[in-house]
């Protein structure tokens, strides 16, 4: 079963993603800030990370840079989920190393399609 790490500080968003992903057959890990997310990724090596950008302690941009600079974690796809919807926010997220970008509010079926594409691409690379 594929494991998804959700790094999201908003409790309602985190709970919604957790419930809906579990119903679709994913194992879900949860983190509420960038530091927790990095530690969870190191401990459990998820198949994909859903990353919010506006996080306490360490934002999603910095957490993404650290994850992508860590050799054992660099191949984990990171899909940003954010309310930061400007072109510059998107560019900044890709510069940090994210693999795809989705704005909130989340259209869940659209998100699942993006997740599957990233998971399939990861499987081909490995």
Q: Are 33 and 66 in contact (CB under 8 A)?
A: no
Q: How far apart are CA 1 and CA 47, in angstroms?
A: 10
* pLDDT of the residue at 86: 86
Encode pLDDT of 20-30 as tens digits. 999 999 999 99
* pLDDT of the residue at 29: 98
Q: Are 49 and 80 in contact (CB under 8 A)?
A: no
* pLDDT of the residue at 121: 84
* pLDDT of the residue at 84: 79
Strand, helix or coil at 13?
helix
Residues in the chain: 126
Tell me the domains of the chain and their CATH numbers.
Answer: 3-125 (3.40.50.2300)
Q: What is the mean pLDDT of residues 23-47?
A: 98
Share of the chain above pLDDT 90, in %: 86
């Amino acid at each position: 079963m594929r494991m998804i790490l959700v790094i999201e500080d908003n409790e309602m968003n985190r709970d919604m993603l957790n419930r809906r992903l579990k119903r679709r057959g994913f194992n879900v890990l949860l983190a509420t800030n960038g530091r927790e997310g990095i530690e969870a990724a190191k401990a459990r090596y998820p198949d994909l990370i859903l990353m919010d950008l506006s996080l306490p302690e360490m934002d999603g941009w910095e957490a993404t840079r650290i994850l992508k600079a860590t050799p054992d974690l660099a191949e984990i796809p990171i899909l940003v989920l954010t309310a930061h919807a400007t072109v510059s926010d998107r560019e900044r997220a890709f510069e940090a190393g994210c693999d795809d970008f989705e704005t909130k509010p989340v259209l869940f079926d659209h998100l699942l399609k993006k997740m599957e594409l990233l998971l399939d691409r990861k499987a081909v690379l490995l």
